[in-house]
Structure 1
């Protein structure tokens, strides 16, 4: 409520101040003050309603900076589009000052965002220090005495104060009924002495008898009871639910990209790759001529790689070596590798040898951003020793990727380097967004001339 009130007042003040500044400084007659007040109040209510609907006033929303910024920016857009739509429907657009609205839209977000962040971080500090109590709860847990301190600390950082604890003893894998009754009796006594708002139960979900017994014993308490998922169950419940009308199912593996996201990524690839080819074509023509003069034809090196769902394709690169390996055994380029030509060293160090892969992008075999494709021989080798290696093929391979801009490109002499590359690739697949692709492309451009891991 504190944060929502602040957002309401900030949003309202921005519109009132913009109206005052616009008309005072330009000498335009001030509109009716009550119309301006009604408009600013409406804007404040719309802003707070939108942010609340997106869950940004919850503890999880306050703790997530990225979510907070995204919600505020979309909320500010929503406010002004809603105002324009309401004005159109009520045929009152002529009564509003377009200039003051435009000014408020332009300067409002840069004012609103810092104000919201300052207040949110103040709340986060209180939560982290466990000095802000939003609700109280009684804790049941099954396990070794002492582990409840970690649970209490984590709950405290979410604004939940634990006002009582009952440890249900688990001896030799069995739980005695008296232990459950004693724990519930302690919870009932604590409720009579000072009421709390909920009961939290922490135990393994395979202990069905225990759960049923606790629910039966606590049914006399007029409180909600929450069963927290154990580590294994939490992974399953994290997926989106599917309601069939018969039973509910939880998504334990999501498709890497939805159809809409795939279309958006493809449009980005085609548009950006076309612009790059148009801009870089003269450079590529000069490089092709230089290779032909130094080493002869062919100027392009083709090698079989695995793409989306393991489908094979030929990747294009400018030839930078005296060999064209494409068999069952392929040796990675090493520092001071004698197979690399003089021109090839320049091409590889500047990453210019990778530019023909823009044609792979236009052909739909690759994406601008994604896991880098490896030679088939290396795929076969690493898939046997890295369990999650094959998951990289769930999206199209990329000309650059998250692993590459984080230092995991070039030779992978040690196994841990390839494991880290796979870890970064899987994170990218899970976290994809247009914004992330733009960040990777931009960072790649900055690193092109300073990458010392390629030789």
Structure 2
């Protein structure tokens, strides 16, 4: 179901001026979070300089220069965080995303600062040791602040301590409301009353008395959550009846309609249309993604070469057969290629004779069990990436027989091939790794893959690579 996001529910939407204080609270939290970061980065710059001078030279120097450096660093960092709306309360609740942004933005700011120092040839004036100390202090302070926000905002939400806009939720009779209520709370919405419209009480949809009885005069917003598309006349009558009340009304759809309206909105004439499939990457985007693939795969092959040699030797000593295993897969636009892996099984299945590995699978060798669970068997695919068959990030390619099976069972399965397959992907860092014993498990993987395709950016690729390195230690669903 499509859940309203925080930025779509600004305080200006409320008709009742006496309820706008939640909007002030959200703005205040955003402002305080940005101000705390700004002050902390300036203080960290001065403290880093003083600490380094004391540690190395045994004295204290004038920190005014480093206060100025801290002012520059704080300005760039806070503006970057504002640019991605990282100070909104809903984003501050996600410690994982905050940690990712800090680990990306702050080193970039300090690298930029060091580049300026180098090109202006003022290295004798500014100590690089003090800059490094400042960076350590800054990262530690920002992480501590994020722990503070995560802890206290989570408690505030749990206690309903935030003043919030009161909502009348209107929905079909059989629809579960708990997920909507929980997600709405994070957006500053408090469901005070619920009104259910069923086929048995269709008259409720057009009766103004029914809305008054369900508390419409006591709320600031009306949220209509609809997924019963066999009963659209009730929705139409409901929206007509709500026009007589001076409260804002929003409609949230579930099912296929919810998936459609999550797409990019455009205007055609006087109508709004929603793009369900983004166009292929343009020349600039493809070039950017390809450059990242080449640089990253070369670096990975150089760094991982000793590990690859050890794995190859272990495979040869553990069981008879070749070191590498090649299998046919479908790539971009359905073009076939041969994917490379370290051999982890005693069989070399391909074409129509391919069976997914299961827990305690007797075909998996002793070395194979370890390299599969740690994903080390995938390292040779960096060669596929250099050849252009694959990308570092993208939907994971499946065996041809599985493509045929799931392509017939899942309507949007073929859309995964609108980009190159990847060594890792959005589905993998969201828990969709390993065996897919049911169609629902594969459908969930496809849903994540399509979200990635429709929302691609280089920043998203970097984020997925980072979290792949973090989540690869989770070996529960890989065997």
Give the structure-1-normalised TM-score.
0.65
Alpha-carbon separation, structure 1, partners of 2:467 and 2:109: 28
Cα deviation, 1:104-146, whole Å, max 9, x if unaligned, reads 454223212312331342122111221221x333526255499
Q: Given that residues 141 and 148 in structure 1 are in contact (C-alpha distance below 8 angstroms), is that contact kept between their aligned partners in structure 2?
A: no
* Alignment equivalent of 1:433, drawn from 461, 464, 469: 461
Instruction: For 2:323 and 2:179, locate their aligned partners in 1 and report how far apart those are by CA, in whole Å.
Output: 62
Q: 1:56 to 1:180 in 2, by over 3 A?
A: farther
C-alpha change, 1:152 and 1:327, in structure 2 (3 Å) is closer
The number of residues matched between the two structures is 417
Q: CA offsets per residue over residues 318-363 of structure 1, 9 Å max, x none?
A: 78999876555556789555xx9xxx88678757886665443322
CA distance in 2, matches of 1:282, 1:48: 42
**Cα pair 2:433 2:477 within 8 Å, conserved:** no
1:28 aligns with 61
Aligned to 2:159: 129
- Note if contact 2:168-2:194 (Cα within 8 Å) is conserved in structure 1: yes
3-state secondary structure, aligned to 2:238:
helix
Deviation at 1:7, TM superposition (A): 4.3
Instruction: Give ranges in structure 1 of 5+ residues lacking alignment.
Output: 191-195
| 3-state SS of paired residue (1:208) | helix
Give the distance between the partners of 2:73 and 2:429, measured in 1 at CA. Answer: 45
For residue 15 of structure 1, what is the aligned residue in structure 2?
A: 42
> Quick one: higher RCO (CA 8 Å, sep 6+), 1 or 2?
2
**Distance in 1 between the 2:351 and 2:272 partners?**
49
Partner of 1:193: none
Structure 1 residues 394 and 174, CA gap change in structure 2 (3 angstroms)? same
8 Å contact from structure 1 (residues 168, 183) kept in 2:
no
- Evaluate the alpha carbon distance shift between residue 67 and residue 256 of structure 1 in structure 2; reply closer, same or farther with a 3 A threshold: farther
Given that 1:403 and 1:421 are in contact with CA atoms closer than 8 Å, whether structure 2 keeps it comes out as no
Larger radius of gyration: 1
Q: Which residue number corresponds to residue 19 of structure 2?
A: none
Q: Is the 8 A contact 1:308 1:397 kept in 2?
A: yes
Residue 240 of structure 2 is aligned to residue 212 of structure 1 = yes
Question: In the aligned structure 1, how far is the partner of 2:189 from the partner of 2:133?
Answer: 42
CA distance in 1, matches of 2:443, 2:175: 37
306-315 or 53-62: bigger deviation: 53-62
Name the counterpart of 2:403.
379
> Residue 443 and residue 257 in structure 1: after superposition, are their counterparts in 2 closer, same or farther (change >3 A)?
farther
Pair 103,258 (structure 1): closer, same or farther in 2 beyond 3 Å: farther
Distance 1:324 1:234, change over 3 A: closer
SS in 1 for 2:203: coil
Structure 1 Cα separation of the partners of residues 311 and 143 of structure 2? 48
Distance change >3 Å, CA 17–CA 388, structure 1 → 2: closer
CA distance in 1, matches of 2:467, 2:349: 33
TM-score (norm 2): 0.63
Cα pair 1:62 1:124 within 8 Å, conserved? no
Instruction: Report SS of the residue matched to 1:433.
Output: helix
Equivalent residue in structure 1 for 2:414, among 367, 390, 396 = 390
| C-alpha contact 1:8 1:47 (8 A) present in aligned 2 | no
Contact 1:316 1:360 in 2 (8 A): yes
Paired with 1:177 and 1:447, the residues of 2 have a C-alpha distance of 50
Match among 250, 253, 257 for residue 277 of structure 2: 253
Pick from 309, 328, 339: which aligns with 2:333? 309
**1:175-205 CA distance string (max 9 Å, x none):** 3687215635986864xxxxx6x32232549
Residues 348/243 of structure 1: CA separation in 2 closer, same or farther (3 Å cut): same
Separation in 1, partners of 2:258, 2:400: 36
3-state DSSP class of the match of 1:202?
strand
Kept in 1, the 8 Å contact 2:197–2:205? The answer is no
Superposition RMSD in Å: 5.5
Distance 1:377 1:236 in 2: 30
Three-state SS of the structure 2 residue aligned to 1:396 is: coil
Out of 46, 55, 67, which is 2:85 matched to? Answer: 55
CA distance in 2, matches of 1:315, 1:212: 57
* 2:264 paired with 1:240: yes
Deviation string 1:129-174 (CA, Å, 9 cap, x unpaired) is: 21221x3335262554997787666544544345x64748666464
